[in-house]
Structure 1
Amino acid sequence: MKFPNNFVWGAASAAYQIEGASFEDGKGLSIWDVHTNDTHPDPITGISNIKNNDNGNIACDHYHRYREDVALMKKIGIKAYRFSLSWTRIIPDGQGAVNQKGIDFYNNLIDELLAAGIEPYITLFHWDFPQKLQEIGGWSHPDMPRIFADYVQVAVEAFSDRVKYWMTLNEPQCHIIVGHVDGKCAPKLRVSPKEAFYLIHSILKAHGLGVQRIRQYAKQNVQVGIAPNPSAFYPYSDNPDDQLAAQEKAFTADSRNLWATTWWLDPLLLGHYPEDGIEAYGSDFPQEINNPEDLAIINQSLDFLGCNFYTGACVRADNKGMPVIVDPKIGYDRTAFKWEVTPRILQYMPIFLYNRYHLPILITENGLSLSDWVSLDGKVHDPNRIDYMQRYLRELKKAIDRGVPVLGYLTWSIMDNFEWNDGYGERFGLIHVDYGTQKRTIKDSGYWYNKIIESNGKSL
């Protein structure tokens, strides 16, 4: 089962989840700094923001331990490391003065990665929006796309001499829906559907302007993409009718569902909002955002489509060929996070996405949370993670065999880290982190992944 010779094997992380040093060396506050350090119960739910009142103030202390962490990455053998930049570490207020110590940190990290033979992949925004910008309206502020693009320019001018691979946004769906509509995560807003569309339009426009700045100011030929989490579906069987039904479901927006993939990717890659979604939302869809000038900015040429995939829904065709969701079996296979294990999404979603958008696919996140601990022998035994990755990677190889240009696989995550509202209760890493001592231990899955990388997938 050998993968293509140029296939990229790597791992991923995010700044707020691992860096720590939240109030050091001139870094400004992000909305996640504020959210996690607010321990008052939510007035609506009565629940604290973060389980156990955890926060990311120290996290994995990667800011101080990045050399150790890069050495562990090299030991595992990863060839690519996707990490995000902390906007407020670089520009503390989100706009204006640049913090040189923040630039220095990322310069040092990039140089350390390259010296270890690891290709850096930068994500420019992974949810840690500057608090100062939130206070002037956040993504609802009319200048926010331009302010984001100014930040992108600073980063590109500082790092693009050595960094070839760039992603503008991580999972904008989660950031906007969970943080601004459902009010569960930072910045904990609960806006109306119409207000949500203005936010969606703003962050998509920020992406477009960001891509333009990358192209304009990059110091070498670069590859530019984005890392959304498309809603994932797979067919009940390999019957052509079920496959067509699953593909149709993957790109349907005919109900009032902001998670529909076409709300997020059709404007970026096809230059328009989905007609069935506009019809479903009726007067709640603001027609003024559907203008050709803004859509031309949003619809920038990309080099690849990053995809974060964990779990999905099964679809079959009914007797009229219409897609129907199949309920999970009783006692379905699930992760510690209670997410259903659905490896076939890594075969079918790359196929569906490539058929529609005609871009090479990069798996920018895939992994699972398990109840890992250091055993009495000093090792971390996580056979279910190995089994999970093996199942998903075998399905991904089938997508490649069916003609989809899949560039690589970046597992989530390189190490256990701060899992947003769930704090430190979920462990996704190839490396175990003892948060009390900051001791790192490569798990069995990390050593297994090393063998997969060395054989280019042949040992799967």
Structure 2
Amino acid sequence: MAALRRSKFPKDFIWGVATSAYQTEGAHNKDGKGPSIWDTFTNNSHFKHPHNNEATDFYNTYKEDILKIKHLNLTAFRFSISWSRIFPDGIGDTNPKGIAFYHDVIKTCEEHHIEPWVTLYHWDLPQHLENLGGWTNRDIISWFSNYVDFCTKEFSTVKHWMVLNEPMSFIGLGYFMGIHAPGKKGLKHFLPAAHHATLCQAEGGRIIRKNCPNAQIGTTFSCSYVTPKNRLILNVRAAKRIDALLNRFFIEPALGLGYPYDAFLGLNRIEKFFKPGDEQRMVFDFDFIGIQYYFRIVAEHRILPLILHAGEIPATKRNVKVNNMGMEVLPKGLYKMLKKFSSYKGVNAIYITESGICLDDEIIKGKIKDRERIKYIKNTLKTTQKALNKGFKIRGFFHWTLIDNFEWADGYRPRFGLIYNDFKTQKRTFKQSALWLQSFLKS
């Protein structure tokens, strides 16, 4: 493989960093913002990290944080809009101060020649809409359409839009396993929520196309490299089912291929929630897709859960390298995912819209030592370079994340940031990895 140098990547390759509203903004109830499902979920007594999510405070520090992006020689900033900061109840009246905040964020990016890449939905559904059934209620298609229509008209200078962030994550973890907001469990929640998210994914794309005809429109998918425990046919089939769930479920309907019924006996139960014309409504020709890869899954056959009949062997029990969330660190798995998604007819371009690693950073004399993160980034970029050399349709890379933040159900312990955040004082310090990336992008 050729040496890792910035000059070896295409001149128009996009280099960026990614964040999300709920994980970074704080100000959960300030200036007219309404509550989201994560505000509710994280303050429930059963949640192991109860808080009000004020520990990153991007809402008040966005100008200095965006300037740090410029200092790192990055040219794109992916962030999300908080639905309940725009519409406090998800529908009805808008919030002028919330609207002004995102105008200021976009303006600040443009002043520093940083391209804003905006995600419309990154998991923080307004609580009022959840009270009405949330993603299990088909009315969410009209609720979401209204929100997308407003945002894309209001922030019409934005040239890169992403509709949903990782639908399998927020539907699977929130409406099937119950370990993310809103904490619902079971197929009776998962199947309607998944179908409605699929429809919103495409409908959001159509609305953006109408309102911003010159914009690039995408959506993002979580993905995992899935391998079977061994060659036993039951485990091989289990791996195929998990692969279909995690890597095929949401992209294939958008491409006109429908849901992956071939891998799931019983998945056709989802058709209970279809209405005439839904097969066509699920389809949209995205300009790009974002893929977000973090870890490999080793699968084995299990009786439960029903339909899936498969489970993951925890990385902590497999004698492999793990991050401090217990996920296997395997950058070369990204190549498998790039190859898989590039092979789809209809995928026009791919951006790696999230890639990162959480570590227990070492602080020595005020410096943040994170050599393992540097190693991870190098290996990830080498894998990306290999895929580019093979002709895969990769157009850019966004590191997750800019600043240590709130990592959903795992709270504040996992640190993914290029910048160390002292959560008590809000002091930001560039880690070694940030300085390495700054130097790499300058070369």
Moved over 6 A (4+): 248-251, 325-329
CA distance in 2, matches of 1:187, 1:327: 24
Q: Report the equivalent of 2:343.
A: 355
Gapped runs of 5+ residues in structure 1? 42-48, 237-241, 316-324, 456-460
Which aligned pairs between 1:9-24 and structure 2 lie closer than 5 A? 9-24=15-30
CA distance in 1, matches of 2:225, 2:125: 26
Residue deviations 1:150-182, cap 9 Å, x none? Answer: 101111011122x11100111111111111111
CA distance in 1, matches of 2:177, 2:107: 40
1:4 aligns with 2:2: no
Q: Report the equivalent of 1:37.
A: 43
Residue deviations 1:123-143, cap 9 Å, x none? Answer: 000100000000011112221
Quick one: which of 250, 254, 260 aligns to 1:274?
Answer: 260
Q: Report the equivalent of 2:304.
A: none
CA distance in 2, matches of 1:234, 1:350: 16
In the TM superposition, what is the alpha-carbon distance from 1:146 to its structure 2 partner?
Answer: 1.4
In the TM superposition, what is the alpha-carbon distance from 1:234 to its structure 2 partner?
Answer: 7.4
1:230 aligns with 2:218: no
Q: Report the equivalent of 1:364.
A: 353
Scaled by the length of structure 1, the TM-score of the pair is 0.86
CA distance in 1, matches of 2:132, 2:40: 15
Residue deviations 1:252-303, cap 9 Å, x none? Answer: 43x7x8734222111112341123145x126x71334456611212211100
CA distance in 2, matches of 1:251, 1:74: 42
Task: Tell which deviates more after alignment, 114-123 or 264-273.
Answer: 264-273
1:310 aligns with 2:299: no
CA distance in 1, matches of 2:175, 2:297: 25
Residue deviations 1:163-214, cap 9 Å, x none? Answer: 11100111111111111111111101113x2442111011111111111110
CA distance in 1, matches of 2:237, 2:106: 40
CA contact (8 A) 1:172 1:203 kept: yes
Quick one: which of 193, 197, 207 aligns to 1:199?
Answer: 193
1:335 aligns with 2:331: no
CA contact (8 A) 2:168 2:246 kept: no
Q: Secondary structure at the match of 2:295?
A: coil
Q: Report the equivalent of 1:46.
A: none
CA distance in 1, matches of 2:338, 2:298: 15
CA distance 1:295–1:59, shift in 2 (3 Å): farther
CA contact (8 A) 1:271 1:295 kept: no
Q: Secondary structure at the match of 1:448?
A: helix
CA distance in 1, matches of 2:258, 2:245: 16
Q: Report the equivalent of 2:309.
A: none
Quick one: which of 199, 206, 212 aligns to 2:206?
Answer: 212
Letter in 2 for 1:85: I
CA distance in 1, matches of 2:170, 2:141: 15
Which aligned pairs between 1:168-179 and structure 2 lie closer than 5 A? 168-179=163-174
CA contact (8 A) 2:228 2:238 kept: no
CA distance in 2, matches of 1:170, 1:205: 14
Letter in 1 for 2:266: Y
Q: Secondary structure at the match of 2:10?
A: coil
In the TM superposition, what is the alpha-carbon distance from 1:59 to its structure 2 partner?
Answer: 2.7
Aligned length: 419
Q: Report the equivalent of 2:34.
A: 28
CA distance in 1, matches of 2:391, 2:18: 25
Residue deviations 1:330-371, cap 9 Å, x none? Answer: 531121222111111222211111112433110011001111
In the TM superposition, what is the alpha-carbon distance from 1:453 to its structure 2 partner?
Answer: 1.6
CA distance 1:229–1:410, shift in 2 (3 Å): same
Scaled by the length of structure 2, the TM-score of the pair is 0.89
CA distance 1:355–1:267, shift in 2 (3 Å): same
CA distance in 2, matches of 1:33, 1:431: 25
Q: Report the equivalent of 1:445.
A: 433
Q: Report the equivalent of 2:161.
A: 166
Gapped runs of 5+ residues in structure 2? 300-311
Superposition RMSD on alpha carbons, in Å?
2.5
Letter in 1 for 2:260: P
CA distance in 2, matches of 1:116, 1:374: 30
Q: Secondary structure at the match of 2:250?
A: helix
CA contact (8 A) 2:332 2:383 kept: yes
CA distance in 1, matches of 2:164, 2:240: 23
In the TM superposition, what is the alpha-carbon distance from 1:408 to its structure 2 partner?
Answer: 0.5
